[in-house]
Amino acid sequence: MKRIVTLLFIGMSIGISSQENKYSDKEFQQKLDSIKAEGNLLYSHEIASWNSGDLVSTNKKLHEIAQNYLTYKSSDTVKTVFLNKDQSLIVAEYSFKNSQKKPVKESFQQRKLNQIELNTNKIRSTVISQLSDPKYEVGAPEGYNLNLIIIPINDNYKVYLIPGTSQSGVIPFGNDYLFITDKEGKIISNQKFHSRLIPVFTQVKDGGTLTTTTHSHLRTSPFISATDICTFKLYAPLTKLEEFSVYSPALGTYMKYNYKIDSIQKVKKP
């Protein structure tokens, strides 16, 4: 009989006394629900990018001309478009609704970029050019990469960086960032949610089954993050895990998320 294993990843000492919790239970849950909504928004973008990339890779002719891609939301649809080499034309467009794996619409008619695509591409290029600044400490260990998710917010943009990997049986938590830029793409603020990459290896050497995982956050990021939720929703379906928890040294509590029922709540123990 396989042994059941519960794995605990604590990146920081939990002996640090927590700050006074100034949130009522209702306010705390509202905060969690807001983070969950943001996590689902990030997921809708990244899963569209994943699925579109898979489709392009199976189309030999398209694969030869498609270069960079952009993913953005338009009304109730998330679109992923692929640009040609000089980024002057869209050569493929895939439209998704409700985070479905199959696009509701495909187009391979070459066209010029619309205004949303021009803006998104400018923000992407401008942000990337700034990430080499050592003050942002942006990088990825061998075997991992960083993916950009760009979300417009009023006249500014949120640019998330989340880790990705092609390794099987790994959920790449951590090494995630949020940059706020102005409408030109200049970074005006930045946040790092974790101190490092926290890869969760879901295949246990003795044949056991990993049922849950927990990691901790920096005190400057006291809540479970939208990037946590997005990453887990992307990789958990490839494993047997259904939920994970985050310990907050700043708040002295755990927060648990289950992707199958899309539920997030404060708990005493994971």
pLDDT at 19: 47
| Residue 134 backbone dihedrals phi, psi, to 5 degrees | -55, -25
How is the chain split among helix, strand and coil, in percent rounded to 5?
A: 25, 35, 40
Question: HSE-up of 115 (CA within 13 Å, CB side)?
Answer: 0
250, 219 in Cβ contact below 8 A? yes
pLDDT at 21: 58
- pLDDT per residue, tens digit, the chain (270 aa), is 333 333 443 333 333 334 445 889 999 999 999 999 999 999 999 999 999 999 999 999 998 999 999 999 999 999 999 999 999 999 999 999 998 889 999 999 999 999 999 999 999 999 999 999 999 999 999 999 999 999 999 999 999 999 999 999 999 999 999 999 999 999 999 999 998 999 999 887 776 667 789 999 988 899 999 999 999 999 999 998 999 999 999 999 999 999 999 999 999 887
Query: pTM for this one?
Result: 0.90
